[in-house]
Amino acid sequence: MKIKLITIACGILLSNIAMAQTLQSWMSPEVGDAWRQNYKGSGVTITVVDDFRSRSRFTGNLGYGVANMRHGEWTYNEALMIAPSARLRADDFNTAGAVALNRGLNVLNLSYGMYIAPNVAFRWGSQEQSIVNYATNGNAVISKAAGNDAVDINSVNRNGQIDALNYSLKGTKSAIFVGALSKNGTTAAPAQMASYSNTAGTDTTVQKQFLVVGVEGNKTGLYGTSFAAPIVSGYAAIIGSKFTSANATQITNQLLNTARQDTIASYNASIHGRGEASLTRALAPVGIR
């Protein structure tokens, strides 16, 4: 039996979009750079697959006051705040149906894991199967939280389980595993890996799909790779609004190929994968004359 676990250690969806249009201190300064031209993910759909129904709530503050919300409401709001012009959809992870895609570029945010004992045969339900299919076929950018067990991403955790969703997304065309740095890194002040975050590990296939971003929980009260994945989801939407004819695989590769290592203290591919996602570099040309 698989159990869906939200990947935080530790509602209200933003009804006023204006609240989402402010650069917050927990965001990378690169987001502000990208926002100056008023293009913040328009034409792209971000579907947040998460908990939108349970009674479980968490307290945090994304910059518009302390709130007590469900896990999915936090991740939804975070993605919306990064890419305020994107279409956001909430898809409760306890529903049975396949995740539907909209026209144009689709980004799926998965800030949860599905844990099973290793070597146990399992069969995906239609919801997760659709997600894995989208990643395999490159139909949508999949931003998947790496997990908070402080182990290599496909290793067993302290309970002797692995995240089967990570396992199934490994090596797919358009899935990105997102780990957490303790802050947004800069060359002047490189960031460390967050103590709880899963790492890329020695598997080079995983390393090539692994990114990290700063999760400044000291400012939001929200810790965990759950809050790393929505940042990458928002970045993907902003990149998709610039390169309007690019497909999900191209957007995924752009994020992975433009990650930077010079903002990470003691960068190591087996820990940080490709490096820290860089929105400004992902938007920039390779060359210009």
Interacting residues toward other proteins by CB under 8 A: 34-37, 39-40, 238-239, 241-244, 246, 250-251, 253-254, 257-258, 260, 262, 280-289
Query: Residue 244 Cβ, how far from other proteins at the closest point, in Å?
Result: 6
CA distances to 37, 63, 69 from 52, rounded to whole Å, are 33, 21, 9
Question: How does DSSP classify residue 188?
Answer: S
Query: Residue 261 Cβ, how far from other proteins at the closest point, in Å?
Result: 10
How many whole angstroms separate alpha carbon 105 and alpha carbon 46? Answer: 9
- 60-66 contacts, C-beta under 8 A, 24 or more apart: 60/220, 60/221, 60/222, 61/219, 61/220, 61/221, 62/24, 62/26, 62/220, 62/222, 63/22, 63/24, 63/25, 63/26, 63/220, 64/14, 64/19, 64/22, 66/221
Query: Residue 213 Cβ, how far from other proteins at the closest point, in Å?
Result: 17
What DSSP string describes 142-156? EEEE--SSSSBTTS-
Specify the residue, 157 or 249, whose C-beta has the smaller distance to other proteins: 249
Neighbours of 247 (CB within 10 A): 17
Specify the residue, 41 or 230, whose C-beta has the smaller distance to other proteins: 41
Q: 179 — phi, psi (to 5°)?
A: -95, 175
Query: Residue 188 Cβ, how far from other proteins at the closest point, in Å?
Result: 15
Specify the residue, 160 or 285, whose C-beta has the smaller distance to other proteins: 285
Specify the residue, 12 or 17, whose C-beta has the smaller distance to other proteins: 17
Q: In what order do the strands lie in the sheet with 112-116?
A: 3-6, 112-116, 162-163
Specify the residue, 81 or 238, whose C-beta has the smaller distance to other proteins: 238
State the maximum Cα–Cα separation within the chain, in Å, rounded to a whole number.
57
Specify the residue, 49 or 191, whose C-beta has the smaller distance to other proteins: 191
Specify the residue, 5 or 246, whose C-beta has the smaller distance to other proteins: 246
Q: Are strands 67-69 and 58-60 parallel, antiparallel or unpaired?
A: antiparallel
Query: Residue 153 Cβ, how far from other proteins at the closest point, in Å?
Result: 26
3-class secondary structure, 257: helix
Query: Residue 260 Cβ, how far from other proteins at the closest point, in Å?
Result: 7
Nearest to 58 by CA among 43, 47, 73, 41: 73
Query: Residue 285 Cβ, how far from other proteins at the closest point, in Å?
Result: 4
Query: Residue 247 Cβ, how far from other proteins at the closest point, in Å?
Result: 9
Specify the residue, 168 or 250, whose C-beta has the smaller distance to other proteins: 250
